A and B are shown apart, each in its own frame.
Chain A
Amino acid sequence: GSGGFRKRKHDNFPHGQRREEKENVNPSSAMMMSFKSFQLELDTRHDKYERLVKLSRDITIESKRTIFLLHRFTSVPNGEEVLNESEVKLDAVRRKIKQVAQELIGEDMYQFHRAISPGLQEYVEAVSFQYFIKTRSLISLEEINKQLIFTAEDREETTNTTANSHDKQPHTWSLKVTPVDYLLGVADLTGELMRLCISSVGNGDIDTPFELSQFLCQIYDGFTFIGNTGPYEVSKKLYTLKQSLAKVENACYTLKVRGSEIPKHMLADVFSTKTELIDQEEGLS
């Protein structure tokens, strides 16, 4: 890939006589030798970065699938099964994160943070969604990080990725989700909760929306408390978060107002038209 690109770039060079002059350069001079070592160092760094980007993508995809699965929780009779299945999926995601952690042994995590951050955020979203369904509360950063401590067992399946990372391998190692990744993941979670709220009404579940409204309100308060202390991305999410909250609050409002006058079996219909309206508004903005 990059080889072809380099070639093209140099063909563009306007000077014809340049090539000949290059031959004066001694390929084994001290300067050329050090550039050869720089080449090795940069290539190693870029390769690691690419491996991490790939792992991060896999983590994102699997986490998204887990979230889709969890959305079925309210609509199927055997919710337990869905939860178990999601646990299996999350375990698979954690195995990927373990590989990330292995790549990062002996490294400064922040050097490669941009490669892995999207995946970790999606994982936070998935794991906190599952946690909410189970316990109706918000998972803490510590709780998430506790699950990301790995031991050396079943090492075989990952040895190939670490072959060139480090010789000495500690028995346990961990990956710490940063506070900012946690916050961004939780902000995304609120979008999922909004969807959960709307769909649960569709299933005739009247209690969940009110619970969700309360929960979202707490999260929103938390984010307002942080305000612009955090980085720019966090304050950017605050806007979307407010929209999600508004949708859930409007849903609860409708339930309250119309709930008393419409027979329960017709409520779902009233609601589905209402949410369509909201979606249209969203499309406009």
Chain B
Amino acid sequence: PAFTALQGVLTADQDIREEIRKVVQALEQTAREILTLLQGVHQGAGFQDIPKKCQKAREHFGTVRTQLESLKTKFPADQYYRFHEHWRFVLQRLVFLAAFVVYLESETLVTREAVAEILGIEADRERGFHLDIEDYLSGVLILASELARLAVNSVTAGDYSRPLRISTFINELDSGFRLLNLKNDSLRKRYDGLKYDVKKIEEVVYDLSIRGLNKEAAVGAGGEK
């Protein structure tokens, strides 16, 4: 008799998970589309129309907002962490994509509040469906790997100043992460990869400087001597 009630509870739980999975699948689809769009910046021609690509990506984030809006309605608001695992991965991807767009536009690190706004969710747990801090940080770490790749490709495309700016940015990010006392979890694992991104970018900067290409870049960019 008691087990009948419990079985009902468990079945209801499964139904919720099923609903969440559906929305998450749609979100993953949108995230892939945005990624494909932004991948264009790695190709030679892509460097010219970065603003246009960012513009388009931002339009796609409108779809993301609608989809996240519908995700919110699939489970009780106070049980976020009960189902967290289902959307964790995709949310981290989305944070990365938003951070990438903001970096390409302004070469700054998107704040947690700003990502939350781009995604149409809250930065703060108390106010509803929110962006967990660990997910935000994971997304930022994905950005670091993408920027290491961008540094390499911008050299190929003849843009010698970008790697230097990326280097400054990544170094600051690295210092930031060093302030954190991370537990031995997935975020720590991902953070451990950051040093390889830093190393990669340093190598690019080194290659440029021994060939005197960084000075050329500084002059070209009209920066300091």
Contacts and interface: CB of A to CB of B under 8 A. Distances in A.
Q: Do A and B come from one complex?
A: yes
Interface of A: 2, 6, 10, 13-15, 17-18, 21-22, 24-27, 29, 31-32, 34-36, 38-39, 41-43, 45-46, 106, 108-111, 113, 138, 140-141, 179-180, 182-183, 221-223, 225-226, 229-230
Interface in B152-166: none
Given A35-B177, A39-B180, A109-B81, 5 more contacts: A21-B202, A25-B175, A31-B173, A32-B179, A43-B181
Interface in B116-173: 125-126, 133-134, 137, 168, 171-173
B195 interface: yes
Contact of A38 (B81, B125, B180, B202): B180
A194 to B, nearest CB: 20
Interface in B171-187: 171-183
A38 B183 CA distance: 14
B106 interface: no
Contact of A108 (B11, B79, B175, B176): B79
A140 to B, nearest CB: 5
A32 B179 CA distance: 9
A42 B6 contact: no
B115 to A, nearest CB: 12
Contacts of A111: 80-81, 84
B2 interface: yes
Given A226-B6, A230-B10, A41 B172 contact: no
A35 B176 contact: yes
Contacts of A42: 133-134, 180-182
B93 interface: no
Interface of B: 2-4, 6-7, 9-11, 14, 78-82, 84, 109, 111-112, 125-126, 133-134, 137, 168, 171-183, 195, 198-199, 202
Contacts of A27: 175
Contacts of A21: 171, 202
Given A25-B171, A229-B11, A229-B14, A35 B199 contact: no
B22 to A, nearest CB: 19
A31 B78 contact: no
A22 B172 CA distance: 8
Contact of B81 (A2, A108, A141): A108
B181 A46 contact: yes
Given A31-B173, A46-B181, A222-B2, A113 B10 contact: no
B112 A34 contact: yes
Contacts of B2: 138, 140-141, 222
Nearest to A234: B10
B196 to A, nearest CB: 10
Nearest to B132: A111
Given A38-B133, A229-B11, A25 B172 contact: yes
Considering residues A21, A35, A46, which has the most beta carbons from chain B within 10 angstroms of its beta carbon? A35
B175 A226 contact: no
B171 A6 contact: no
Nearest to B77: A108
A235 B159 CA distance: 58
A36 B179 contact: yes
B34 to A, nearest CB: 24
Nearest to A29: B172
Nearest to B187: A42
26 contacts: A2-B181, A10-B178, A18-B198, A18-B202, A22-B171, A24-B168, A32-B176, A32-B179, A34-B176, A35-B176, A35-B179, A35-B180, A38-B180, A41-B133, A45-B133, A46-B181, A108-B125, A110-B80, A110-B84, A113-B82, A141-B6, A179-B6, A182-B6, A225-B7, A226-B10, A229-B10
Contacts of B3: 221-223, 225-226
Contacts of B137: 38
Contact of B195 (A13, A141, A179, A180): A13
B109 A31 contact: yes
B135 to A, nearest CB: 12
Considering residues B6, B79, B172, B173, which has the most beta carbons from chain A within 10 angstroms of its beta carbon? B6
Contacts of A141: 2, 6
Contacts of B80: 108, 110-111
A179 B14 CA distance: 13
A110 B82 contact: yes
B172 A31 contact: yes
A111 B80 CA distance: 8
Considering residues A38, A226, A230, which has the most beta carbons from chain B within 10 angstroms of its beta carbon? A38
B171 to A, nearest CB: 6
Given A31-B109, A229-B11, A113 B81 contact: yes
A175 B84 CA distance: 20
